[in-house]
Structure 1
Amino acid sequence: MYLHGTSRVNEAGQLVIGGTEAAELAKRFGTPLYVYDEALIRQTIRAYKAAFEKSGLRYDIAYASKAFCTMAMCRLVADEGLSIDVVSGGEMYTALKANFPPERIHFHGNNKTPDEIEQALEAGIGLFVVDSFHELQLLGALATEKGLVADIELRLSPGVEVHTHEYISTGQEDSKFGFSIAKGTARQAVEQALQTKGVRLVGIHCHIGSQIFETEGFKTAVARMAEFYVMSQRELGAADLSILNVGGGFGIRYTAEDDPLEPVAYIDAITEAVKAEFTRLGTEYPEVAIEPGRSIVGPAGTTLYTIGSTKDIPGVRKYVSVDGGMADNPRPALYQAVYEAMIANRADEEPTELVSIAGKACESGDMLIWDVKLPTVQAGDILAVSCTGAYNYSMASNYNRMVRPAVVFVQEGEADVVVKRETKDDLIKGDVIPARFLDGVYSK
């Protein structure tokens, strides 16, 4: 297993994350357990900021909180000086309860409800990323009722297809997101936005996909967006247009087959393309915005499990079962995500057998890893699965009425719980038994 950030193997053969032995974290906080390397999160954020500073362009980095959203994470992002993007009223509420500056909150989503828009307007969030004509009309009306003018970006589909899983590719024409440049709806959206009371068009936005390992897609997107940006100013009179937002999607390493770039490589490609295109078009450079999520938290997360039973089918496969699975990490079941792992309490031992890691949910498809080499496993060993910082906690469920794991941040030998482990009482706190079930009416 590749060791990210502060992770290392100490002289005792123990996996150490943030200065603390993983096995000790498992003993102290229980398993399954999400562990985040706080130093690596901050290091990655600062790498993005340094790359932009080098470019000399005005910029804004908004952490895509859908990757991992807790109050502690929102607080960390605020402390590092980033904006944050949210895609639901729940994510917005989390950020606001963490005292995140509302003017640095960007609200995404292809179907924002009236209640969510009201919530955002009342909180004074800084930016709406508008995804449909319906939303544009609704936002304008609600803002006007309150005597407000909401700053907006229009999410566009630039027609850029990148090599990634079909479920996380979003920049192509056939997508539920955005106004199409090629089909003309993007132009119509600008025209309508300029005529809609209660909104002010300040930027255009695109997001071409996720887990992208090259820069050509971003360069192509910048070129198409730049043409549209300048046309909107010159032909349509979008005088307040000042932001070019190219979204996120920067890839990370899950396994040895992945070959992501460093943050500086992505940012250099984007900023150089912006300078080249806007120089060619003869207009001033816009503020450049990005929305990294997975790349900030993905490598910083490790999930710890306790190994239980094994099932060896001679000549076929050896199954190793852990005390978690698709309830805390549905990504392998959803889109065949692949991970690396090691035995955290015997991290210095050579792998000797090929096994597959099974979850404990009552589903044949509850497999976390197919075919990983490990030392001969023993019940009670701690399995560490790397790069689980993005979308694992976010997508976790109570399937089979499993309680969701705790989350801890570790740094310099300190471990802080940022999300408490659920209890069985948490599972039933919303349950209600109708009175008629208790009065014997249906028992006769």
Structure 2
Amino acid sequence: MARTHEAGQLHAPGSSSIAIVPGWLNAPADVNELLPQLWARTVERGADGALRVGGVSVADLAAEHGTPLFVLDEVDFRARATAFRDAFADAFAELCGGADVYYAAKSFIATGVARWLAEDGLGLDAASAGELELGLRGGVPGARIVVHGNNKSRGEIEKALRAGVGRVVVDNLQEIDTVADVARSLGVVAPVMLRVTVGVEAHTHSYIATAHEDQKFGLSLAGGAAEAAVVRVLARPELRLTGLHSHIGSQIFDMGGFEVSARRLLGLQRTVEREHGATLPEMDLGGGFGVAYTSEHDPLPPQEIAGRLAEIVARECLAQGIAVPRISVEPGRAIAAPSTFTLYEVGTTKDVQLDAGVRRRYVSVDGGMSDNVRTALYDADYSATLASRASTAPGVLSRVVGKHCESGDVVVKDEFLPADAGAGDLLAVPGTGAYCRSMASNYNQLPRPAVVSVREGASTVLVRRETPEDLLALDAG
């Protein structure tokens, strides 16, 4: 059986030689080269060979803030966010008066990030009371927040409605009555969307494919639950049905899944309007647009994504004979991931002999699966570069590993790093802005790293580094 890869079946190791060196990984002519698609836009090598971001040397960042460290390029983050905002506004301007972009907080959120979103005119997609609170504290208006979740508590629903959120995405039949009851107790009418499971098998890792039938999210279209939910919502005066929602997965490069999803959602919308007499002014097509983690990935720019989705929606609405609803999308990874790299310090190294005469070097760093569990969880691929200096040494096949008591504690499975990389050097791993800090843990009681943003020669702490005292503060003993 071929092993699944998170970006689809782009490589499936079969022989021992392929398993050792992936087909997409080539030995670089220059180990100091930075592939532009992997790095935030202000990252460069300075005259001394060290990486600089926003005009600040990584050596200075490490000295001031310590390592491991998440380093976020504010200029890059905000440029990516506004590129999605503008691309969708332009692509859908003539179809439905524009489109709305909701940044997915689950990828990474802090009050500073929420403040940027508020200033730059994006909305926020929140999947918990904590994400909602951070958004509100950062100044995102409640009306520009959409709340998700397959098991929202009454408290979370109440908090959302008190905040005046723009939409609550209902995930199952039971939740309809819960939201309606909470709305009645508050004396408000709750705007809701229905999350529909459209039966699309997205080309991504099975853990992050979310629109096939056999998974926890959404109301099944094929099984009739989605239409039953429409009837139930329309029967509750405390609810206002604004539209349908679908999310087919994450780290997706193929637009075909979005085409099938839109067609099926619009087919249901046609049924709702003609058989149930309800007008649905909105439709959310989700997010999950892929990013480049290694040289094998070739993501689409926001303008092309928006343009293709606009073509799909226009064509399908014409075929169904219905008006184009106002479209919204929820990118998170595509904004956050490329804007951030993780800075580590190297500790120990060792060489091992593998099959076919190949040697691999293990390079241990001062973080690991506690700050990036995605490699272990999703078999995700990452890249790395020597960050504190340039090197004239040849590249050697390396595996960057963490300091945890797990053999699966791998950060970067395969990379060519300079043969002279060793203790005290700094390594940078790009593309870690999404889900790494969000999914971080205290495994082996390691404090979680800080997140700093960098802009115009200055760094700002967005999330401070945890301390042993923070961990002990939760220990009742």
- Normalised by the length of structure 2, the TM-score is 0.88
User: Which residue of the other structure, out of 14, 35, 47, is the alignment partner of 1:2?
Assistant: 35
- Secondary structure class of the residue paired with 2:438: helix
**CA RMSD between the two structures:** 1.3
Q: Which residue is equivalent to 2:124? A: 84
User: Which residue of the other structure, out of 368, 371, 375, is the alignment partner of 1:325?
Assistant: 368
Deviation at 1:348, TM superposition (A): 5.6
- Secondary structure class of the residue paired with 2:106: helix
User: Which residue of the other structure, out of 69, 80, 97, is the alignment partner of 1:44?
Assistant: 80
- Secondary structure class of the residue paired with 1:220: helix
- The letter of the residue matching 2:342 is T
Do structure 1's residue 421 and structure 2's residue 454 form an aligned pair? Answer: no
- The letter of the residue matching 1:380 is G
Q: Is the contact between residue 71 and residue 94 of structure 1 (CA under 8 Å) also seen in structure 2?
A: yes
Mark the CA change 1:335 to 1:262 in structure 2 (over 3 Å): closer, same or farther.
same
Do structure 1's residue 190 and structure 2's residue 233 form an aligned pair? Answer: no
Do structure 1's residue 373 and structure 2's residue 416 form an aligned pair? Answer: yes
Q: Provide the C-alpha distance between the structure 2 equivalents of 1:304 and 1:214, rounded to a whole number of angstroms.
A: 31
Do structure 1's residue 242 and structure 2's residue 273 form an aligned pair? Answer: no
User: Which residue of the other structure, out of 312, 328, 332, is the alignment partner of 1:293?
Assistant: 332
Q: Which residue is equivalent to 1:340? A: 383
Q: Is the contact between residue 342 and residue 383 of structure 1 (CA under 8 Å) also seen in structure 2?
A: yes
- The letter of the residue matching 1:320 is V
Moved more, 10-19 or 345-354: 345-354
Moved more, 243-252 or 172-181: 172-181
Moved more, 279-288 or 244-253: 279-288
- The letter of the residue matching 2:80 is T
User: Which residue of the other structure, out of 93, 96, 100, is the alignment partner of 1:60?
Assistant: 100
Q: Which residue is equivalent to 2:20? A: none
Q: Provide the C-alpha distance between the structure 2 equivalents of 1:358 and 1:159, rounded to a whole number of angstroms.
A: 38
Map 1:36-435; keep pairs closer than 5 Å. 36-55=72-91, 56=93, 57=96, 58-239=98-279, 241-314=280-353, 316-347=359-390, 349=392, 351-375=394-418, 376-433=420-477
User: Which residue of the other structure, out of 65, 80, 98, is the alignment partner of 1:29?
Assistant: 65
Deviation at 1:39, TM superposition (A): 1.0
Q: Provide the C-alpha distance between the structure 2 equivalents of 1:348 and 1:221, rounded to a whole number of angstroms.
A: 48
- Secondary structure class of the residue paired with 1:79: helix
- Post-superposition CA distance 1:187-238 (Å, at most 9, x none): 1010111002311100100001111112111111111111111211111122
Deviation at 1:325, TM superposition (A): 0.3
Q: Provide the C-alpha distance between the structure 2 equivalents of 1:284 and 1:12, rounded to a whole number of angstroms.
A: 59
Deviation at 1:349, TM superposition (A): 4.2
- Secondary structure class of the residue paired with 1:380: coil
Q: Is the contact between residue 328 and residue 404 of structure 1 (CA under 8 Å) also seen in structure 2?
A: yes
Q: Provide the C-alpha distance between the structure 2 equivalents of 1:314 and 1:387, rounded to a whole number of angstroms.
A: 30
Deviation at 1:263, TM superposition (A): 1.0
- The letter of the residue matching 2:127 is V
Q: Is the contact between residue 282 and residue 326 of structure 2 (CA under 8 Å) also seen in structure 1?
A: yes
Deviation at 1:85, TM superposition (A): 0.7
Q: Provide the C-alpha distance between the structure 1 equivalents of 2:315 and 2:384, rounded to a whole number of angstroms.
A: 43
Q: Provide the C-alpha distance between the structure 2 equivalents of 1:261 and 1:347, rounded to a whole number of angstroms.
A: 31
Moved more, 92-101 or 248-257: 92-101
Deviation at 1:47, TM superposition (A): 1.5
Q: Provide the C-alpha distance between the structure 2 equivalents of 1:197 and 1:50, rounded to a whole number of angstroms.
A: 36
Q: Provide the C-alpha distance between the structure 2 equivalents of 1:351 and 1:170, rounded to a whole number of angstroms.
A: 43
Q: Is the contact between residue 85 and residue 122 of structure 2 (CA under 8 Å) also seen in structure 1?
A: no
Q: Provide the C-alpha distance between the structure 2 equivalents of 1:215 and 1:348, rounded to a whole number of angstroms.
A: 40
Deviation at 1:371, TM superposition (A): 2.5
Q: Provide the C-alpha distance between the structure 2 equivalents of 1:351 and 1:108, rounded to a whole number of angstroms.
A: 49
- Normalised by the length of structure 1, the TM-score is 0.95
- The letter of the residue matching 2:35 is Y
Mark the CA change 1:294 to 1:349 in structure 2 (over 3 Å): closer, same or farther.
farther
- The letter of the residue matching 1:317 is R
Spell out structure 1 runs of 4+ moving beyond 6 A: none
Q: Provide the C-alpha distance between the structure 1 equivalents of 2:160 and 2:86, rounded to a whole number of angstroms.
A: 31
Moved more, 77-86 or 96-105: 96-105
Moved more, 160-169 or 307-316: 307-316
Is there any run of 5+ residues in structure 2 with no aligned partner, and where? 1-33
Is there any run of 5+ residues in structure 1 with no aligned partner, and where? 434-444
- The letter of the residue matching 2:370 is A
Deviation at 1:350, TM superposition (A): 5.5
Matched residues, percent identical?
45
Q: Which residue is equivalent to 2:18? A: none
Q: Is the contact between residue 203 and residue 254 of structure 2 (CA under 8 Å) also seen in structure 1?
A: no
- Post-superposition CA distance 1:345-377 (Å, at most 9, x none): 124645421121110011111111123111121
Q: Provide the C-alpha distance between the structure 2 equivalents of 1:294 and 1:206, rounded to a whole number of angstroms.
A: 17
Deviation at 1:283, TM superposition (A): 2.6
